[in-house]
Structure 1
Amino acid sequence: MSNNNNFKKIRTICPWWSCPSYDGIVATVDVKNNKIIKMEGDKNHPQSKGYACPKGLNDWQVIYHSDRFTKPLLRTTSGFKEISWEEAYEIAADRLGEVIEKFNPKSICATMAEWPGVALFMKSINSPNTITNRDLCQGTAETADPLTYGECITIYRSSQDFKNSKCILLVGTNLPHSCGGQWQDIKTAMSNGAKLIVVDPRRCEAAEVADLYLQIRPGSDGALALAMVNVIIEEKLHDDEFVNNYCLGFDKLKSHVQQYTPEWAAEVTSLSVDEIVKAARMYATNGPASYRGNNGVCQHANSTQACRSFAALISICGNIDVKGGNRLAQGPPGREDFIFGDFLKSAIVDKEVEDQTMGADRFPLWAGPNAVMRRPHNPSLINAMIHNEPYPVKAWIVFWNNPVMAYASAQKVIEAMKKIDFLMVLAYTPSPSSDLADLILPIKHLYEYDFIMISSYGSWISTMPKLVDAPEGCRDSFQILYDIAEKMVKKGYIKKNYLPWKNAKSFVEQTVSNGGPINFETLCKMSPMTWRPKYKKYKKKGFKTPSGKVELYSECMERFGYDPLPTYHECGDSAVSLPHLSERYPLYLTTRRVQNYYLTRGAGYAWVKKENQYPELLINPNTANERGIKDGDMVIIETPKGSIQHKAKIFEGIRPDTVNGIYGWWMPEKKTEENGYLNTNINFLCSFYPPYDPEIGINCIQGVMCQVRKK
């Protein structure tokens, strides 16, 4: 932190706390006028190394948004009206209490589970239905990884030691676009001779510089992984020492993958046999190697097994927790077992309550006390809001989330929100979801109070000291939920408030000190704090699996009736599975996001609209010519679930059978539902209904069958 008269430069980090980039930021603040002036990348941050994407550089502008919520708002017959916080607390407590008394605590659900205040508030209510949106992104990997080696190390948690890798495998992810600091590490590794393999139906920026680019058919990533495992085992390229000492089920895996030959995989993936064999050899013989998967591999109805297949690939090559591989978590000195988010374990409800988690009967690996995620099945929750089956869900607390735009079958989400008894939204600014709320509570921006980011995989801690004061009417979410819970206790609706923090300040101080002498102010002077990673920690502690080893053969999966070995099955709604629909819908619809967006957040901000006026659909020139489509034409994208429109962008780097649109797009400047979001949001084309991923119940939101025509 430095001073220059009335201006201060303060080190912080991007407030998009669930974004994988973790960009370090230096903020310039006009202290006298309580105003942020600008943001720039922090060259000394260990994660981002000076890189900062448009979100990190511009999100502070949300604080000064003309439509920002600054007072609690109550829906009335004539629209929203401002009310006091005391009135808001009374209404929230009574409306939630009425649902508890008339129905059951489990008839209340809330997003988002990853935020500690929300999770513990729901424990206070005694409802098991605390929603995670992981089913919309990397939930399949977050299930498959722990089943294999006890924790998630393959997706966005900075576990990849890219800069020390000799081979980097990127599947369904484009790090130059999403994680600039990590991309710098990859470029450093490549300058030292590392190989780069990129797997993506779209020739993304990373693919342009790859040593091997595999333009795979959407949804067939698992077939590629299994064939690579086949080649590596057949050619004895695996790590014998690691497999023999730290893996269970290798012999069964060896026998099992004999069916997954490169020739078989070539037919499934539309890659060549030579490409598959080359990828296997490149990954296995250039160790240590690191792997990163993302939405492209995680969002299909066969993705849990696909992620298990890549987990097996990593494991048999011994690339777990080695320098240059995929690291296991390691907290700061003295708290090595700490993982930011472990406090959620204290938010678990009693077993007899958790047994009633929505979806636990059908997807026990996702929902219920024996699950990996231990969160409700979101499609089933939406269905229960509409049809009251298997039990009614009558209240929804939405925090920092926009389900109308984020969830598949958005028409059903809208119907559900309109049908329930009470919808409470905590937000900065309006969205299609807050438009439907009964009660809107204005929250402080993360730059308006002290906070902290901890990466036990990236080995760093960054503080986020308050930059400016919030508008008088805004409160932090910890305080809001604590106060509502206290009100519900006093009124007799609930027995206990399990939130130990009265506000964000107390949460931060408890997280930082943990009973020790250090406090937030001291940590700010050290931020970002780093520590030296330790490798091969499993030699002392083992893995966080029942056996303490890497479980290539999962008895947990077998116990629930799933294939205990990584396997491949075609997505239930692909052209291969539904050939009778392939003539009408011959293309695969995949998605990406523009860099200014994070999920569905950003549409209402001027700095986003300045760069991105309308969503664009990437389409191969041959595919476009067949349909009479030219660059810039408005096109209709149609699936069995409906149609929307994008603007065509001719792009030679995409497969002829694949198009690529932008998800979560909405236009708040348009005042009607049709123009504002119904016509542009790709999630309206995806289904919340089966076929699901068999293991955890996610629906297919990549590689959806579609047709495109000129409007």
Structure 2
Amino acid sequence: MVTESNTTTRKGTCPVCGTFCHIVAHIDNDRVVKVQPDSESVLGHLCIRGVNGVEYHDHPKRMNYPLKRVGARGEAKWERISWEQAMDEIAAKLESIRDRYGPEAVLVLGGSPHGPGDPAAWKWCNLWGTPNFFHLGKNCGEAEFPVECAMYGYDTIAAWATFLNPEKTGVLIIWGANPSESQPRLWEGYKYSQSQGMKIIVVDPRPTTCAKAADLWLQLRPGTDGALALGMLNVIINEGIYDKEFVEKWCLGFDELKTLVQQYTPEKVSEITWVPADKIIEAARMYANASAAALTWGVANTHLGNRAGLSGVMGKCWLRAVTGNLDREGGQVFSTPPDYTAFLEEMNWDSQINHPLRTRDTVSADQQSIGSVKALVLYHEAMKRVYPKGWGAAQYFIYPSPHACWEAILTEKPYPIKAVFDQGTNTLCSIGDSRHAYEAFKSDNLELHVSMDHFLTPTGALADYVLPATDAMEHPTITNLWGMTGSEFGREAIVEPMYERKDDYQLWADLGKRLGQEKNWPDTLEGWLNKLLAPAGVTLRELAQTPGYFPVKEYKKYEKTGFATFSGKVELVPTVLQQLGYDPLAGYEEPPWSPISTPDLAKEYPLILISGSRVKEFHHSSHRQLEKIRKRYPDPVMEISPEKAEELGISEGDWAWVETPMGKVRQKVKLLEGMPPQVVHADGYWWFPEKEEAEPSLFGVWESNIDAIVPDEPGFSDYAGNSYFRGLLCKVYKD
């Protein structure tokens, strides 16, 4: 801590999203008055959201006290209660629900993380015995985890989410992601590497900043990612530019893959994707011939619906594998779990698998088995030879589908869900077919709904209890990306919590202590973080004084241990997926609604819709209260090509309707040069905090919220139950 004049400065964590950037805060009379990036930290960065962190932290609409509903759900009638009363009443209701319906009748929804709240929730669920929990990883590409881990027993999220050394990485493919908006710090690093010689290929239908800066831009038809990947594999395999030594020594199923890709010539794939055949060939050669290459994850690939999503993710995994880029320096480096801490012991996934009271799997286990206890067991068995304590990000093997959760509330099938917790989720603005979730939250079948957040949201407005959460300036934090990476960063709280805000950990600790879990919960978040760090021989305070911990870089770890699969090799036809009922070799399939798969529907809805791409100003549905940000980005935006807009009689700045077979919402028109005339993009996650809370307004949640008009039921949602946000059909007309 440093004192200058009358202002104290203290290092801490930015409060506005889950990126956990490091800041220096200026404090006057115990209030934060200014924030700036911590130039001494590798995480020292502030985006447009972060520079408004003070407004976020001290906003007049922040939740400051526990509230209990006294009117009907959505009526905006509340009474202030104490935290103790809230915990006592909630715990009593939970105990009653468990006695009558079993522990699985509780659903936990996690959201944009602002600290270690998600791991605390997973720990509580595993101790309680409910497998029904998921967080907004459902919108952030989490469905790539189980496919990667099935194929090669590791995930590679850490490979591209760090600085890429241009002396080692020859080519980077940014596929289905737009880091110039979603990860500005990362994009700056990519641009530097490109200036030093690294080539960038971008796969995206939209003319994004990344696409315009790319050395090669593959502007594909939305939803055809799987076909494009198979076309590139056709070139790589048939031209013999795959890594023969790696494939022969370490891969199983290559002959089956080779047979599959013969159907996908560059010419045929060009017809499917709109990408010229010569560009498909050029991209394949650039990627395969690079000394080392990386290929990003991308949220878009898991939003394509049904098998279209799986074929895209499988294709990307195959590309990484056959080119020998797995765990190669400069290539697709494997993540390593933080097993030098007690993280995995504290999560204790075995307690979920073997819980004495749990008798049922997730509510969607029979629909999307990749998110189930059955899947968790299979992955654990496949990976235990290399990771006997389990995988750091094991939560991604168990998440149920949102659709099945709402059905379990409304129909009580396959069994009832009677209680819901949402922490920072704002589910009505983050999940497809959000009216389905609304019906569930309003249902008399739901006996308990607890919302914990920084602000009252449309989702929280339907709750029975609303609890005020601290932000990252008010509580300590350690960062290991939810068990996904072995690096570890620690920061202490900058200021004491304001009003009666409590950290997310405290919710689960206080409930746990009331429900027979006393020995499992240290009294405070800092105490729990110290417990997590104890095996490393360091306390939170000590870690916070360091730049962080980085594991020693080690490449080709599989040469010592084999791959963390049943066979010990890369399974190009993954055993785990087959045992879960998926066909890895089914090849490309059109999205559920497309000009090809549903030509009659396309006559009425002739445009292809992409929705929910990231923008700098907002993190999912957050930050719409912030005055400076709303001045920059006041309204929901629909992007359309100038040619198509002229044809439809709409102009820049007009309000227009975007309509799908599920309904319509209203957004403001932005003309975008370079957008294919057959494609439109609609902003996601919109609500209006300035509008009335009580229904029918519900903060204007149904006015512009694209999530309300995209489907998420089986047959539309992807292989892991993610909503169908991209590559569907719509029509656009002037308001």
Superposed pair shares fold, TM > 0.5: yes
Instruction: Report the CA distance between 1:104 and its aligned residue.
Output: 2.4
Which one of the candidate residues 31, 37, 42 is aligned to 1:35? 31
Mapped pair 1:689 → 2:710: no
Closer, same or farther: CA 348–457 of 1 in aligned 2, 3 Å: closer
Structure 2 matches for 1:189-588, cutoff 5 A? 189-301=193-305, 302-330=308-336, 335=339, 343=347, 345=349, 348-350=352-354, 353=358, 355-371=360-376, 373-419=397-443, 420-454=446-480, 460-489=487-516, 496-497=517-518, 499-514=520-535, 516-565=536-585, 567-588=587-608
Closer, same or farther: CA 236–328 of 1 in aligned 2, 3 Å: same
SS at match of 2:505: helix
Closer, same or farther: CA 169–340 of 1 in aligned 2, 3 Å: farther
1:43 counterpart letter in structure 2 = S
Gaps of 5+ in 2: 112-116, 380-396
Partner of 1:493: none
Distance 2:508 2:486 in 1: 31
Closer, same or farther: CA 564–109 of 1 in aligned 2, 3 Å: same
**For residues 73-121 of structure 1, what are the alpha-carbon distances to aligned partners after superposition, in whole Å with 9 as ceiling and x for unaligned?**
1111381001112211121012222222332221111112981221222
Q: Which deviates the most, 559-568 or 633-642? A: 559-568
**For residues 615-674 of structure 1, what are the alpha-carbon distances to aligned partners after superposition, in whole Å with 9 as ceiling and x for unaligned?**
111100111011001100010000000000000001112111111111001111111644
Give me the CA root mean square deviation.
2.4
1:632 counterpart letter in structure 2 = G
Which structure carries more relative contact order (alpha carbon 8 Å, separation 6+)? 2
Distance 2:245 2:398 in 1: 34
SS at match of 2:95: helix
* 8 Å CA contact 2:164, 2:190 repeated in 1: no
SS at match of 1:74: strand
SS at match of 1:446: coil
* 8 Å CA contact 1:117, 1:499 repeated in 2: no
SS at match of 2:329: coil
Mapped pair 1:86 → 2:84: yes
Distance 2:724 2:715 in 1: 8
Closer, same or farther: CA 585–538 of 1 in aligned 2, 3 Å: same
SS at match of 1:236: coil
SS at match of 2:313: helix
Q: Which deviates the most, 163-172 or 95-104? A: 95-104
Task: Calculate percent identity across the aligned residue pairs.
Answer: 28
SS at match of 2:473: helix
Distance 1:127 1:156 in 2: 33
SS at match of 1:430: coil
Distance 2:519 2:361 in 1: 20
Closer, same or farther: CA 311–339 of 1 in aligned 2, 3 Å: farther
Closer, same or farther: CA 368–461 of 1 in aligned 2, 3 Å: closer
SS at match of 1:382: helix
Partner of 2:155: 152
Closer, same or farther: CA 594–370 of 1 in aligned 2, 3 Å: closer
* 8 Å CA contact 1:377, 1:697 repeated in 2: yes
1:406 counterpart letter in structure 2 = S
Instruction: Report the CA distance between 1:44 and its aligned residue.
Output: 3.8
Distance 2:78 2:578 in 1: 52
**For residues 427-477 of structure 1, what are the alpha-carbon distances to aligned partners after superposition, in whole Å with 9 as ceiling and x for unaligned?**
121100111110111122221121111368776432221111112412222
* 8 Å CA contact 1:478, 1:502 repeated in 2: no
SS at match of 1:564: coil
* 8 Å CA contact 2:476, 2:491 repeated in 1: yes
* 8 Å CA contact 1:477, 1:503 repeated in 2: no
TM-score normalised to structure 2 length: 0.90
Instruction: Report the CA distance between 1:183 and its aligned residue.
Output: 1.7
**For residues 572-626 of structure 1, what are the alpha-carbon distances to aligned partners after superposition, in whole Å with 9 as ceiling and x for unaligned?**
2222111111011111111223212111111223233222111111100111011
Closer, same or farther: CA 424–349 of 1 in aligned 2, 3 Å: farther
**For residues 180-212 of structure 1, what are the alpha-carbon distances to aligned partners after superposition, in whole Å with 9 as ceiling and x for unaligned?**
232232222222222111111101001111111
Distance 1:666 1:590 in 2: 19
**For residues 115-139 of structure 1, what are the alpha-carbon distances to aligned partners after superposition, in whole Å with 9 as ceiling and x for unaligned?**
1221222233322212233333313
Gaps of 5+ in 1: 490-495
1:69 counterpart letter in structure 2 = M
* 8 Å CA contact 2:160, 2:332 repeated in 1: no
* 8 Å CA contact 2:303, 2:718 repeated in 1: no
Instruction: Report the CA distance between 1:349 and its aligned residue.
Output: 4.3
* 8 Å CA contact 1:172, 1:296 repeated in 2: yes
* 8 Å CA contact 1:641, 1:685 repeated in 2: yes
Partner of 1:643: 664
Closer, same or farther: CA 83–459 of 1 in aligned 2, 3 Å: closer
Partner of 2:691: 670
Structure 2 matches for 1:594-633, cutoff 5 A? 594-633=615-654
SS at match of 1:425: strand
2:46 counterpart letter in structure 1 = A
* 8 Å CA contact 1:52, 1:180 repeated in 2: no
* 8 Å CA contact 2:513, 2:521 repeated in 1: no
TM-score normalised to structure 1 length: 0.93
Distance 2:504 2:190 in 1: 37
* 8 Å CA contact 2:638, 2:669 repeated in 1: yes
1:423 counterpart letter in structure 2 = H
Partner of 1:4: 4
Distance 2:94 2:474 in 1: 28
* 8 Å CA contact 1:552, 1:565 repeated in 2: no
**For residues 498-531 of structure 1, what are the alpha-carbon distances to aligned partners after superposition, in whole Å with 9 as ceiling and x for unaligned?**
74333211121112222x5321222122133445
Instruction: Report the CA distance between 1:680 and its aligned residue.
Output: 0.7
Distance 1:255 1:568 in 2: 14
Distance 2:519 2:710 in 1: 37
* 8 Å CA contact 2:158, 2:335 repeated in 1: no
Instruction: Report the CA distance between 1:707 and its aligned residue.
Output: 0.4
Partner of 2:14: 14
1:565 counterpart letter in structure 2 = L
Q: Which deviates the most, 417-426 or 674-683? A: 674-683
Partner of 1:492: none
Distance 1:412 1:693 in 2: 14
* 8 Å CA contact 1:201, 1:655 repeated in 2: yes
Instruction: Report the CA distance between 1:6 and its aligned residue.
Output: 4.0
Distance 1:637 1:7 in 2: 50
Structure 2 matches for 1:137-148, cutoff 5 A? 137-148=140-151
Distance 1:192 1:451 in 2: 35
* 8 Å CA contact 1:131, 1:375 repeated in 2: yes
**For residues 349-405 of structure 1, what are the alpha-carbon distances to aligned partners after superposition, in whole Å with 9 as ceiling and x for unaligned?**
426836421111222222222246112222101011112222121110111211111
* 8 Å CA contact 1:159, 1:458 repeated in 2: no
Structure 2 matches for 1:692-703, cutoff 5 A? 692-693=716-717, 695-703=719-727
Distance 1:620 1:61 in 2: 36
SS at match of 2:723: coil
Distance 1:102 1:600 in 2: 35
Instruction: Report the CA distance between 1:699 and its aligned residue.
Output: 3.3
